[in-house]
Structure 1
Amino acid sequence: MSTIHKLDETIVNQIAAGEVIERPANAVKELIENALDAGASRIEILTSGGGKTLLRVTDDGLGMEPADLPLAVSRHCTSKMDRDLTAIATLGFRGEALPSIGSVSRLTVRSRHRASETGSEIVVDGGTLSPPRPAAGNCGTMVEVTGLFLNVPARLKFLKSDRAEANAITEMVKRLAIPWPGVTFSLSGDDRSTLELPATGTNGDALGARVAQILGRDFRENAVEISAEKEGVRLAGLSSLPSFNRANSSHQFIYVNGRPVRDKQLVGALRGAYSDMLARDRHAVCALFLELDPRLVDVNVHPAKAEVRFRDPGLIRALIISAVRRALAEEGVRGSTSASEAMNSSFRPGGAPSYRREAPDAAAQLNGAVSTLVNRPQDYPSGFAEQRQACFSGVTQPSADARDGSLDTGAESHPLGAARAQVHENFIIAQTRESLIIVDQHAAHERLVFEALKNALADRCLPSQMLLVPEIVDLPVEDVDRLAAESETLARFGLEVERFGPGAIAVRATPAMLGEVDTQGLLRDLADDLSDGKGVLRVKDNIERMASSMACHGSVRSGRRMRPEEMNALLRQMERTPGSGTCNHGRPTFIELKLTDLERLFGRR
């Protein structure tokens, strides 16, 4: 007698629901995507009990005929795709959402097609389907979900509090609303305050206006426009200045062909773009939109449709990094308005700056070997001191041949103005025609030295230190193949390796800048990075961290008195250096106070 049997359809749908509908926010996502695919111009969401008690999504889209309703709540039935799984142009396509929801709740679908005068309704209660029946309703579709997961108590008890689930729904609605500025979204219920996102139109600035609704107008004031295209892949959107950042990545909105995704490749590329501009525990804010041929991206990776796979992930990563870095560089010297707003608030009674994060110690960001190099020069490898000094060539303290700006009003036309004073041997006060500039001399010069170091390192192969006896590292054959294939690139960074039999790599030299290296650990990490498509970024990252620490130790120190010509030279050099608005750790290098702000502080406005 066979022990294999076919699972009941309800059980199959409940299993699918475990992947598609992890929490109420996922159900909201699926229902909103259906509404958008149906051409809705207004979507209303009503919730209660964090979505566990009630979820109702109403739209004014195309609607459905009575004969469509039984198919809509049946597994793997969809109107959005026929046979071509490689060219998916809609948000939904799997035909799993409604039957999955109906298997773990009481699901009511009421719809009226635009061409019909009457509507119809169908109910699915815990997987049990009732026949459709006539029902009154406006054109469009209403989907109501009550008692989510009541018949799956194991899943229900793993949900968070009503407030947490309600907040997750709010974030999901915001994430879905951004790429659809022509659609009005309304979210309400007894477990939340009402969220209204009116349509911003379809003109050129509609998307920017929708982004401002979600991320706030201060984001637009502290962001740069991104626009780039390479080999048929287009990237557009807004990304924040380095000094405008957050403690987590929840404020990063990334879309692929209009689909919101949380893909580690894209998040990693964005972090790479800000790698030497932000502290490791800070995150940029962005709304980025990737557009490419649907055949070049696979969205059918997971039932939740939040992950994607690119045919050429290296192209996507390079496009994001280069586009963001170029936009920040072209922006020139520009500080975040959040820093000046925090300073203004500190002058008010009971006010306190919102930007109170201390910069992380540079040495603490490095591993033990690099810290040793920074703090114990006597332990540098042979010749390393000369190499380090060579990196600093051309990066001197501000020269004394610059004009004296203490009385020069012409310098006020420069973006950072003319230096007027130095206070507490650390802060430079400069004046432009419309504002007052306060510069942190150490943080500013640290960025200048770091950028010069990076340029010096990019122009030549990095020096290496030969090992007296090559170190043999045993690795899986596939890892050996990856490392051997990248040997020439690794050699540019000072790491010389070669194949040593089928399952080992011989390391003959390591980067001199890194001093003593855990060779086995480094090789294993490199092999892992190569398998993830990250190339030789680990070596590059270690080199850049070292350069950052060197820049910190080689910059104008706090407490040093500077002459007016030196201060002006520093200001002019900042204006010529990309990214000089922040130091290597993400702290602002200067704060700008507009003349109107100063007048307001003294009651003159």
Structure 2
Amino acid sequence: MSRIQLLSPRLANQIAAGEVVERPASVIKELLENSLDAGAKRIDIDVEQAGVKLLRVRDDGSGIEQDDLPLALSRHATSKIRDLDDLEAVATLGFRGEALASVSSVSRLTLTSCPEGADQAWQVETEGRDMAPSVRPAAHPRGTTVEVRDLFFNTPARRKFLRTEKTEFSHLEEVVKRLALSRFDVAFNLRHNGRPVLGLPPAQTEQEARRRVASVCGPAFVEQSRQIDSERSGLRLWGWVGLPTFSRSQADLQYFFVNGRMIKDKLVAHAVRQAYRDVLFNGRHPTFVLFMELDPAVVDVNVHPTKHEVRFRDGRMVHDFLFSTLYRALADQRPGDQAEGDEAPVPGAAPVSQPTVSGLDAGVFSGQQRMALNEAPATWNATPASAYVPPAAPPAGAAAAYAGLYGSASAPAQSLPAAVEGEDVPPLGYAVAQLHGVYILAENAAGMVIVDMHAAHERITYERLKQAMDQEGLRSQPLLVPASMAVSQREADCADEHAAWFQKLGMSLQRMGPETLAIREVPSLLRQADAEPLVRDVLSDLLEYGSSDRIQAHLNELLATMACHGSVRANRRLTLAEMNALLRDMEHTERSGQCNHGRPTWTQLSMPELDKLFLRGR
């Protein structure tokens, strides 16, 4: 091999450009981040031919001094950090000082800027080579404009790898949308080939912020999402979480920001996946626009050239906070909550209380299930049908007339009395009929409700099984012959560190050597499962994410199967009393909007929607 030698500045710049400038969207990301770091409140973007011919970004930020303009185009020159302490607590989007130098090495770049208080703007130009930039006077208002023309004109091989104009512009537009979501206080205007594409005014109020999210993600997302805001241990998570019924076939509506920076992180993805596990249909992806705020000193954003990945100092705490916040937000979504994400229930919604075993559930838990859950038989004495009472006292007036419907499941069918105007009606209303032994038809204040009775009862039964298991705990079953397994020393150390956690979940691991573990006890519910691969998967999760839910996931799968077999079956005829008991239980059960497999349990048809079907009012 030849001797080591320094690369020419031009070659070094083009190698750096390969890391920073992948396509026009990469350029727009760097330019917009610089504008935001400069304190811009309005950013105008003009694009021609998806950015290959022209990219122009104009902002009203703080601007660049005349003497600093040549430095702005130099590698590793930045105003955003000074020393190592600054690097360990980065609070800006850009900080490496490579962007403009890399972009200018593969394009014809013009930078014009007028700092605040200056009476003269200045301009600097480069043309894709290592040239001494010259600065000259220019006319420009306060702020900065960067023009990038003829991208990759001097590297034709790179230009060949670009996609069609439509594809490249879609990537570029996506970058603008991400940054528009990260800064609600900044106005963004995007034009392509002279045609306006995005016009987003500043969003100062919550309503304006919702409007911006609707402009970027679509109004359906805002209508089918829940707004959250939670804070704990120096961490804050806020934003919008899509309902499980508003899922996607691809993970293309997922925005997660850490201190204003859009990231895609494995730890975050794992926590979100866990939170949605019980309510999302197989193969579907959740939707969300979430913002996490924390001390910049406890997150490292300098771990990847694109800065899309971060590293948290305490990853386990972040993971647990994300999971618990999202899990609770999804669990608290019940019939009666407003679709816009407001936490206030609609008028007439009964107060939330713990589920009560209804007449419909009498005898649903078999002796085998009770044994599997290690419950004392007395604990599982289902409430007799004659003793069943509604979860909440029925409201006065019209609803009181329905009190008889909450009683015995074996009561004969009753016809509904005429409704009294002006009285509150529960969110899911009152049953009026059963369709083909599968669906319950109910009438509420908004119109008609259709319920899949098996799916709904399956969720109710499943949640009660989980609740019972949480209250009574897990019982371990010793293995007649302990199972020995060879592991790495790192995995064995991990098992030692989390020994108490394994024990809590009903599993006992004993270290037999530097690289050997013995499985001595397993949860009774999983006594038929193959314990070794389960333990390996759990250890893998603990090492990568700091936590694991695989044991709980296996337990939940078994409980879901039990709930499915223990729930009311299709084609079973129910009385009005039984149907109304099921509706009331749904209103007081967590996650009752989806069955254990993620399918919806009920849907609403409003009166305007019904009128539209029959062309009424036209």
The answer to whether the superposition gives a TM-score over 0.5 is yes
SS of 1:438's partner is strand
SS of 1:67's partner is helix
Gaps of at least 5 residues in structure 2 are 341-367, 390-403, 406-413
SS of 1:500's partner is strand
Matched, 1:134 2:137: yes
- CA distance in 2 between counterparts of 1:194 and 1:547 reads 54
Matched, 1:297 2:299: yes
Identify the match of residue 143 of structure 1 among 126, 146, 162.
146
- CA distance in 1 between counterparts of 2:548 and 2:578 reads 39
SS of 1:473's partner is strand
Structure 1 partner of 2:397: none
Identify the match of residue 445 of structure 1 among 435, 454, 457.
457
Cα RMSD, aligned residues only: 2.8
- The letter of the residue matching 1:71 is L
- CA distance in 1 between counterparts of 2:319 and 2:282 reads 19
- The letter of the residue matching 2:38 is A
Q: Alpha-carbon deviation of 1:510?
A: 3.1
Q: Alpha-carbon deviation of 1:388?
A: 5.4
Matched, 1:195 2:222: no
Per-residue CA deviations over 1:10-55 (Å, capped at 9, x if unaligned) read: 2222222222223221211110011111122221222233323332
Structure 1 partner of 2:523: 511
Moved more, 395-404 or 418-427: 395-404
Per-residue CA deviations over 1:83-133 (Å, capped at 9, x if unaligned) read: 221222221111111111112222221222232333222222223233222
Is 1:440–1:590's contact at 8 Å kept on the other side of the alignment? yes
- CA distance in 1 between counterparts of 2:510 and 2:117 reads 71
Q: Alpha-carbon deviation of 1:204?
A: 4.1
* 1:322-471 map, 5 Å: 322-334=324-336, 386-387=371-372, 403-404=404-405, 406-408=415-417, 409=419, 413-471=425-483
- The letter of the residue matching 1:142 is T
- The letter of the residue matching 1:319 is F
Per-residue CA deviations over 1:187-212 (Å, capped at 9, x if unaligned) read: 2223x963223324423443223212
Structure 2 partner of 1:377: none
Structure 1 residues 425, 87: CA separation in 2 closer, same or farther (over 3 Å shift)?
same
Identify the match of residue 159 of structure 2 among 132, 156, 159.
156
Is 1:477–1:502's contact at 8 Å kept on the other side of the alignment? yes
- CA distance in 2 between counterparts of 1:267 and 1:516 reads 31
Moved more, 529-538 or 142-151: 142-151
- CA distance in 2 between counterparts of 1:70 and 1:330 reads 56
Structure 1 residues 419, 483: CA separation in 2 closer, same or farther (over 3 Å shift)?
same
- The letter of the residue matching 1:156 is R
Is 1:399–1:569's contact at 8 Å kept on the other side of the alignment? no
SS of 1:143's partner is strand
- The letter of the residue matching 1:180 is R
Matched, 1:548 2:560: yes
- CA distance in 1 between counterparts of 2:265 and 2:294 reads 16
Per-residue CA deviations over 1:216-242 (Å, capped at 9, x if unaligned) read: 232222222211111121111111222
SS of 1:478's partner is helix
Matched, 1:588 2:588: no
Per-residue CA deviations over 1:64-92 (Å, capped at 9, x if unaligned) read: 22222111111111122222212222211
- CA distance in 2 between counterparts of 1:395 and 1:317 reads 39
SS of 1:284's partner is coil
Identify the match of residue 609 of structure 2 among 588, 597, 602.
597
Structure 2 partner of 1:52: 52
Aligned length: 561
Structure 2 partner of 1:578: 590
Is 2:280–2:598's contact at 8 Å kept on the other side of the alignment? yes
- CA distance in 2 between counterparts of 1:577 and 1:127 reads 66
- CA distance in 1 between counterparts of 2:35 and 2:450 reads 51
Identify the match of residue 281 of structure 1 among 276, 280, 283.
283
SS of 1:178's partner is helix
Structure 1 partner of 2:28: 28
Q: Alpha-carbon deviation of 1:440?
A: 0.7
- CA distance in 1 between counterparts of 2:174 and 2:15 reads 26
- CA distance in 2 between counterparts of 1:582 and 1:391 reads 30
TM-score by length of 2: 0.84
Matched, 1:217 2:202: no
Identify the match of residue 574 of structure 2 among 555, 562, 567.
562
Q: Alpha-carbon deviation of 1:515?
A: 4.9
Is 2:13–2:105's contact at 8 Å kept on the other side of the alignment? yes
- CA distance in 2 between counterparts of 1:504 and 1:36 reads 54
Moved more, 153-162 or 328-337: 328-337
Moved more, 455-464 or 562-571: 455-464
TM-score by length of 1: 0.86
Moved more, 413-422 or 85-94: 85-94
Moved more, 153-162 or 237-246: 153-162
Per-residue CA deviations over 1:284-303 (Å, capped at 9, x if unaligned) read: 22111111111121111222
Per-residue CA deviations over 1:516-541 (Å, capped at 9, x if unaligned) read: 43444323222211111242322222
Q: Which runs of 4+ in 1 moved over 4 A?
A: 334-338, 388-402, 408-412
Structure 2 partner of 1:488: 500
- CA distance in 1 between counterparts of 2:96 and 2:583 reads 57
Structure 2 partner of 1:104: 106
Structure 1 residues 484, 168: CA separation in 2 closer, same or farther (over 3 Å shift)?
same
- The letter of the residue matching 1:299 is V
Structure 2 partner of 1:362: none
Q: Alpha-carbon deviation of 1:481?
A: 0.6
- CA distance in 2 between counterparts of 1:430 and 1:146 reads 63
Structure 1 partner of 2:37: 37
Per-residue CA deviations over 1:469-496 (Å, capped at 9, x if unaligned) read: 2221111101111012222222332322
Structure 1 residues 155, 458: CA separation in 2 closer, same or farther (over 3 Å shift)?
farther
Is 1:109–1:122's contact at 8 Å kept on the other side of the alignment? yes
- The letter of the residue matching 1:501 is G
- CA distance in 1 between counterparts of 2:469 and 2:312 reads 31
Structure 1 residues 209, 87: CA separation in 2 closer, same or farther (over 3 Å shift)?
same
Moved more, 80-89 or 397-406: 397-406
Identify the match of residue 245 of structure 1 among 244, 247, 252.
247
Moved more, 393-402 or 23-32: 393-402
Moved more, 210-219 or 570-579: 210-219
Matched, 1:254 2:256: yes
Structure 1 residues 492, 384: CA separation in 2 closer, same or farther (over 3 Å shift)?
farther
Q: Alpha-carbon deviation of 1:445?
A: 0.9
Structure 1 residues 333, 23: CA separation in 2 closer, same or farther (over 3 Å shift)?
same
- The letter of the residue matching 1:276 is D
Is 1:335–1:590's contact at 8 Å kept on the other side of the alignment? no
- CA distance in 1 between counterparts of 2:240 and 2:110 reads 40
Is 2:336–2:428's contact at 8 Å kept on the other side of the alignment? no
- CA distance in 2 between counterparts of 1:398 and 1:295 reads 59
SS of 2:43's partner is strand
Structure 1 residues 522, 326: CA separation in 2 closer, same or farther (over 3 Å shift)?
closer
Moved more, 235-244 or 438-447: 235-244
Structure 1 partner of 2:536: 524
Matched, 1:177 2:189: no
Structure 1 residues 203, 335: CA separation in 2 closer, same or farther (over 3 Å shift)?
closer
Percentage of identical aligned residues: 43
Moved more, 510-519 or 13-22: 510-519
Is 1:333–1:578's contact at 8 Å kept on the other side of the alignment? no
Structure 1 residues 204, 116: CA separation in 2 closer, same or farther (over 3 Å shift)?
same
- CA distance in 2 between counterparts of 1:520 and 1:154 reads 51
Structure 2 partner of 1:350: none
